[in-house]
Structures are given as C-alpha cells and as structure tokens.
C-alpha cells in the first residue's frame, strides 16, 4: 500500500535522512495531460523524488540534461520545473508508482500490475509516443524479454512505444551523451513524422 509522505522539504532544499526515509512506499503525481507528444516513463520514483515530489530529482540523474541535449527542451530544466514540460507537449509517469530506495525492491508482480496500469493510462491520455526509460522495466512490465532500445513493434492503441536507456547515474552502460543520442533519435523521428 502506498502513501503520501507527511511533508515535503522546501523547494530546492536537500531532503534530510528522515525525509528520505519517510518517502519509502509513497507516490508522486504524474506530470501528464491528454494528447502529449511524448509521455516519458520512469521505472519508479526513488526516495529523493518521493521526498521532493519531483521526478528524476536525485542529483546525478541524467534525465534533465539528456532531455535538453537531445533538443526536447530549449534550456536545461530542473526537477522543480517539471510542470513546464506540459507546455512543450511532454510528460512524465512511472511503470510502478511506489517509491523505493532501489528498483531492485520491486517485485515481478508490481511490474506486471504497473504495465497494465500504464497501458490503461496511455489509452486514456493518448500521447503520440510512450518512451519507457529502462530496458529491464519494460521487459518485465510487458513480457517482452528480447526488447531493445528504440522503437517497439507493438503500439498501445494509436501510441507508438519507444524504449530508451535508464538515465539513472547508476546505469553504467550509457554515458550522458549516449542517453542524449537515444533521446535525440526519438525527437528526430517525431519531427520526421510531423513533416511527413
């Protein structure tokens, strides 16, 4: 059972160890609206995000720099500016809503349930693209053990699905430039589709 944390730190303040501990098993609000260009989907919120109520909030997470370097945003936004994404046709959600210290704490059933809930959310919001940020999470949530980074053959309704690298600082398989390159491929695909 997830819960809302009792109190969030002041905007821009570093969460205390007590605030981080209190964030365990909480949820944070999606940044989403109908008809987005891209709905980015993380694995699940970390404790830093749970404590602040901001997606990809932990220092060292490469989501915000990669988003800018790839050309999705005109300047590098920070987690506290996440609502500004909506005006750019972008949003953020998660496969699993429950906040944990590590994604390894999630169960296989949580991934499957999260995948079903995510599919329902996508069918309701109808973004052009769902971009899942994490190969293992996508494979587990959607039962696609061979899925690789890039466009996926199975859409969700009218929504294309792309698989992108996890931007966590713990993902040693990709550099920031490598992550930005994959984000850029998605952005260029959207531009080509619009022009076509």
| Domains of the chain: total | 1
Residue 17 belongs to what H/E stretch?
helix 17-22
**Domain extent for 47:** 27-195
pLDDT along the chain (196 residues), means of 10: 56 85 96 98 96 95 97 97 98 97 94 97 98 95 96 97 91 91 97 81
The DSSP output letter for 31 is B
Structure tokens at 13: 């303040």
Phi/psi for 150 (5° steps) reads 120, -170
Domain membership flag for residue 151: yes
What pLDDT, in 10s, does the model give residues 118-132? 999 999 999 999 999
What pLDDT, in 10s, does the model give residues 58-97? 998 999 999 999 999 999 999 999 999 999 999 999 999 9
Assign residue 136 the CATH number of its domain.
3.40.470.10
Q: What is the pLDDT of residue 97?
A: 96
d(CA 87, CA 89): 5
Domain membership flag for residue 163: yes
Q: What is the pLDDT of residue 44?
A: 97
Q: What is the pLDDT of residue 1?
A: 55
CA angle (38 as vertex; 34, 42 as ends), nearest 5: 105
Please report, in angstroms and rounded to a whole number, the separation of the first and last CA atoms in the chain: 46
Phi/psi for 29 (5° steps) reads -75, 140
| Single pTM value for the model | 0.93
Domain membership flag for residue 147: yes
Domain membership flag for residue 1: no
Q: What is the pLDDT of residue 128?
A: 98
């Amino acid at each position: 059972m997830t819960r809302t944390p009792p109190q969030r730190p002041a905007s821009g303040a570093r969460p205390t160890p007590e605030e981080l501990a209190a964030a365990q098993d909480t949820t944070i609000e999606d940044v989403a609206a109908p008809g987005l260009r891209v709905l980015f989907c993380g694995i699940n919120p970390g404790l830093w995000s749970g404590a602040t109520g901001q997606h990809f909030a932990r220092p060292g997470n490469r989501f915000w720099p990669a988003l800018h370097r790839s050309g999705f945003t005109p300047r590098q936004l920070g987690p506290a500016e996440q609502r500004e994404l909506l005006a750019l046709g972008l949003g953020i959600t998660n496969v699993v809503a429950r906040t944990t210290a590590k994604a390894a704490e999630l169960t296989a059933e949580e991934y499957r349930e999260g995948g079903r809930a995510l599919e329902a959310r996508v069918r309701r919001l109808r973004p052009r693209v769902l971009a899942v940020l994490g190969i293992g999470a996508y494979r587990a949530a959607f039962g696609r053990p061979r899925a690789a980074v890039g466009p996926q053959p199975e859409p969700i309704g009218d929504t294309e699905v792309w698989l992108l690298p996890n931007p966590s600082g713990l993902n040693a398989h990709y550099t920031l430039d490598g992550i930005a390159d994959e984000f850029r491929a998605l952005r260029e695909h959207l531009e080509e589709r619009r022009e076509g």
